Structure 1
Amino acid sequence: MAGDAGDAWSAEEREAGGSPRVIVIGAGIAGMSTGCYAQMNGMRSRIFEKHVLPGGCCTAWSRDGYIFDYCIEWLIGTADGNDAHQVWRELGALDGKTITNFEMFNRVVDETGRSVVFFNDPDRLERHLLDLSPADARLIRSFCRDLRRFIGIELYPFLTAPALRTVRERAATLRTVLPAFRLFWRTSATPMHRFADRFQDPLLRRAFRNIFFQDPEGFPLLPYLFNMASAHHHNAGFPQGGSLGLARSIEERYKALGGEISYRARVERILVEDGRAIGIELRNGRRYYADHVVSACDGHTTIHGLLQGRFTGPRIDKLYNDLLHRPGTLFPAVVSAFVGVRGDLGPDRAHSTTYLLSSEDAAQLPGALQNSLVVQLRSRYSDGFAPPGRSVVHCTYFSDFAYWKALRAVDRKEYRAKKHQVADFVRNFLERRLPGTAERIELVDVASPATTRRYTGNHDGSILAWKAFSEADDIAAKLVGKDRMRLPGLRGFSMAGQWVGMGGLIRAASTGRFVVQYLCDELGCGFTASESQGGEPWHPGKLGRLPQLDRWSARGDTRT
């Protein structure tokens, strides 16, 4: 069954003199970025999205007037004057928005209530850590000295696809990297675990692992220093409107450029003829044709679902037949518990705190992978997340996808009971840490890793795909650089998003830019990009109508 009769997508061959047609699968940040840059470069694009909202994992949902913002904890590129910010300006992502910046990255509290605050200012951080543990002065000064050096470095390689960088661009990168080569080499070769284990203070040994809220395991020092340095420059802030707000702004920019998005349109397979992708077929049987197809959805679904595993090579096989199933290669899935609270939780409280749990407490969290719980006061991040006079708290922990998948598949009643167990624990834990909170809690809304998989399609419910600094990182870099984001033996097709460009929203957005740059190079035309001129002030009404994630939530007594 062909697409809508008479439209530009119903014929295999485009009209004589017509613009090149590009179909994009997935309206996440990477997919919409691809569409925006395609439109900027004279192509005609159309995005097909299975959900009712843009953004993929960069999303939110609502219940009883509360907005539960799921994705962004910090966004690289929120300050003027760097290449990451330029990408967001081109995509209209920050149009009309204020940015919230925090003086600290995270606070870590142990079971006894003793805490450490990771301030973004290295001088303040150093004084604070020395007060906590004078015996660790040498390590503390070493870390803060490295942070000062990273603050003096600006390196955001998100504008030009690796294989297309000019001699001037490569020289500019070398001028930044070479003077700090030993710093980059040493901090990328030193695992945070090994560094943290050298502290004498038991809290610091555990706290440094949790600067990024929970321990990603396997990360070296470099990303911690890079992101804290970015936050120091206000280049890792929180944009007004949050995750779905970011997606809606890019959607608005895409439509203003003339792009089309079809929602509730699940792609069933990619049509291939004589080794070339020629279009897509939806679940309802409708077919749409294009000169180029870009998949910006889950990598495993793309390789083994939409393309039936027909176009692979050593790198793809290594990723999807080996590393995908190797423990520790994917970024962990999370359980999210959003808490709606009457009143405020206090302006002096940290916006983000990792609580280190006893083994007894951690055992009460279904499927928990670590003995910790992250508590974020999301109403401090942006306006509009809660009704007047109320607040939203977001509690998360790394969790085992297989545990939740099996539970949901075998026993839905027990699955719901485990969600209630999470809600019960969060309610009781907040009361212990913030006395008087429990009686003001109006609802708790829990999303499991199985929920993430169901709504986004991400393999094993991972919201960041391949773990950075793993073996997959090196292979993904070659997919973007050497392979130009293409698959062996398949013309007219590219992959974008975190499954080729690694996790993080700025990386996802940059892959859309790179795909179109490579396509322009193939077509023999110059790539161009322009900044959005949108300036209307942001307001929560721009989020549009939000769905409820599930009918389920816990109100009042969570056992009722």
Structure 2
Amino acid sequence: MPDEAEDEWSTRDRAGDGAPRVIVIGAGVAGMSTGCYAQMNGMRSRIFEKHVLPGGCCTAWSRDGYVFDYCIEWLIGTAAGNEANQVWRELGALDGKTITNFEMFNQVVDETGRSVTFYNDPDRLERHLLELSPADARLIRSFCRDLRRFIDIELYPFLTAPALRTVRERAALLRTVLPAFRLFWRTASTPMHAFADRFQDPLLRRAFRNIFFQDPEGFPLLPYLFNMAGAHHNNAGFPQGGSLGLSRSIEERYTSLGGRISYRARVERILVEEGRAVGIELRNGRRYYADHVVSACDGHTTIHGLLEGRFTGPRIDKLYDELLHRPGTLFPAVVSAFVGIRGELGPGRPHSTTYLLAPEDAARLPGALQSSVVVQLRSDYSDGFAPPGRSVVHCTYFSDFGYWKELRAADRKEYREKKRQVADFVRGFLERQLPGVGERIELVDVASPATTRRYTGNHDGSILAWKAFSEADDIAAKLVGKDRMRLPGLRGFSMAGQWVGMGGLIRAASTGRFVVQYLCDELGRGFTASESRGTEPWHPGKLGRLPQLDKWSMRGDTRT
């Protein structure tokens, strides 16, 4: 017999208290954020998630005591006193946690061993760059001058949905933007590759493109300056517990508010009657009903799968029938290789380094899109990622989803062989960079873009959906502002997450807040939010039981 809570969702009738019921598809950061704010505003909510863990791409998995943290490299909103941080406090995301801040954003090393370090402090960065290339003094001073100006600007508009901002909120936003309008316009209209190509020094020409670890291609100067300025203020740090730790904390906040997550519950379709979403049907045939349905999962799956392409319009058609298939519109997929190592790696090493590869090295990386690999010393980011006396390193590179998808579908043995090829490369490469480490490697665990697609459902394995500062970015902004995150001709339904709010965890979290604000406005009730009161210190045990994504991994002995 179904329990009382189950029966409440199996009928079309509301509970006795008359509270609106909200079903959320997907327990990623956006989905759980939606659930939290729904609960804060007197609604009953329930989240259905196909995986066994919360977080979507904001996740981790384990093997032999190592924790492989997949998502966060820096998190906007880790310092107090700004709107991004307020969202995280409301969601309990940082409860009881320490924050690790680094003095540098990234280091870039070329094939000869020359390196450039992108310090977050503009004065130190300027001195360092001038020492490397006095001939590029004008460009160096220009970049660092802009960084200083961004440091003086605080712009984190994540609290109120665009269409609901009050006159006072709009005026406050204008007071921040107008004095710096020319700065925003110039840095948003100057492509990084065009700026970098003006350097005389060949290392700087390549290194500036890789401040964000690898070249996202098409980004202007603005996001680099914005994020480095955030890091300068310790507002782009790394939270204790990492990616899954963030997700677990939001999950704990959601359930403490009375919400419920059903795992291993794959939604097959959204039930629609007379132009209104009324519930969902799971793959096992069970149906659940609600007054409002929010999809916080993959956009293409939502539009053309769960809703069978019945509710579209010019903006949706542009995104999902044209731009989705245009090269360079989606943020690239990645190959991740996690390396478990006996012993410590020693102090004084950069936490993150992009190595620019010689052609012969780049050719050894299956499906690689660029001639570079990123090496991050994840043991330096947070405690609990490696067993005592051991270290974990995360190596990544942008990779072609189609390559891995076709390989896995056509020949599983060859697919595993290519993953082994990645592991072999990483083992040899780390030995060259850190002599003696090769013999201490205990295992290498490789996740391909096909792995990302399998476990998160993200289209083409993209980790951040639409690429920012693109045509898709402009259209997605209109979905949030003008369309209020709704689809044409469909009532009782909203979308949340990176497919409407663009990539980045704070953007995903804010879309959950926006959805509930729009819903409250529709219902004629005021929106409210409260901060979490959680104070228990974070500890690795809060991650819970972690799965292994695959049975295969490359052990220290390549014969096993």
Determine whether 1:344 maps to 2:344: yes
Deviation digits for residues 93-133 of structure 1 (CA, Å, limit 9, x no counterpart): 00000000000000000000000000000000000000000
Taking the TM superposition and a 5 Å limit, the aligned residue runs for 1:379-418 are: 379-418=379-418
Taking the TM superposition and a 5 Å limit, the aligned residue runs for 1:145-544 are: 145-544=145-544
C-alpha displacement of 1:13: 2.6
C-alpha displacement of 1:2: 10
Correspondence for 1:52 = 52
Alpha-carbon distance between aligned partners in 1 of 2:500 and 2:8, rounded to the nearest angstrom: 29
SS of the aligned residue for 2:9 comes to coil
Q: Does the CA contact (< 8 Å) of 1:423 and 1:558 recur in 2?
A: no
Q: Does the CA contact (< 8 Å) of 1:45 and 1:260 recur in 2?
A: yes
Aligned CA distance change for structure 1 residues 135 and 557 (closer, same or farther; 3 Å): same
Alpha-carbon distance between aligned partners in 2 of 1:315 and 1:172, rounded to the nearest angstrom: 30
C-alpha displacement of 1:5: 8.7
Deviation digits for residues 232-270 of structure 1 (CA, Å, limit 9, x no counterpart): 000000000000000000000000000010000000000
Correspondence for 2:557 = 557
C-alpha displacement of 1:559: 4.8
C-alpha displacement of 1:522: 0.1
Runs of 5+ consecutive residues of structure 1 not aligned to the other structure:
none
Determine whether 1:76 maps to 2:76: yes
Runs of 5+ consecutive residues of structure 2 not aligned to the other structure:
none
Alpha-carbon distance between aligned partners in 2 of 1:356 and 1:559, rounded to the nearest angstrom: 30
Q: Does the CA contact (< 8 Å) of 1:108 and 1:354 recur in 2?
A: yes
Stretches of 4+ aligned residues off by more than 6 angstroms:
1-6
C-alpha displacement of 1:15: 3.8
Identity of aligned residues (%): 89
Correspondence for 2:131 = 131
Q: Does the CA contact (< 8 Å) of 1:2 and 1:10 recur in 2?
A: no
Deviation digits for residues 299-318 of structure 1 (CA, Å, limit 9, x no counterpart): 00000000000000000000
Q: Quick one: which amino acid aligns to residue 149 of structure 1? A: R
Aligned CA distance change for structure 1 residues 196 and 274 (closer, same or farther; 3 Å): same
Alpha-carbon distance between aligned partners in 1 of 2:288 and 2:360, rounded to the nearest angstrom: 55
Deviation digits for residues 346-375 of structure 1 (CA, Å, limit 9, x no counterpart): 111000000000111000000000000000
Provide the aligned C-alpha RMSD in A. Answer: 1.1
Deviation digits for residues 193-221 of structure 1 (CA, Å, limit 9, x no counterpart): 00000000000000000000000000000
Provide TM-score, normalisation by structure 2: 0.99
Correspondence for 2:103 = 103
C-alpha displacement of 1:14: 1.4
Q: Quick one: which amino acid aligns to residue 148 of structure 2? A: R
Determine whether 1:547 maps to 2:532: no
SS of the aligned residue for 2:396 comes to strand
Aligned CA distance change for structure 1 residues 127 and 36 (closer, same or farther; 3 Å): same
Provide TM-score, normalisation by structure 1: 0.99
Q: Does the CA contact (< 8 Å) of 1:2 and 1:287 recur in 2?
A: no
C-alpha displacement of 1:7: 2.0
Give aligned pairs, total. Answer: 560
Deviation digits for residues 503-559 of structure 1 (CA, Å, limit 9, x no counterpart): 000000000000000000000000000000000000000000000010010012335
SS of the aligned residue for 1:108 comes to strand
Alpha-carbon distance between aligned partners in 1 of 2:240 and 2:40, rounded to the nearest angstrom: 26
Q: Does the CA contact (< 8 Å) of 1:93 and 1:250 recur in 2?
A: yes
SS of the aligned residue for 1:215 comes to coil
Q: Does the CA contact (< 8 Å) of 1:501 and 1:508 recur in 2?
A: yes
Correspondence for 1:31 = 31
Q: Quick one: which amino acid aligns to residue 193 of structure 2? A: H
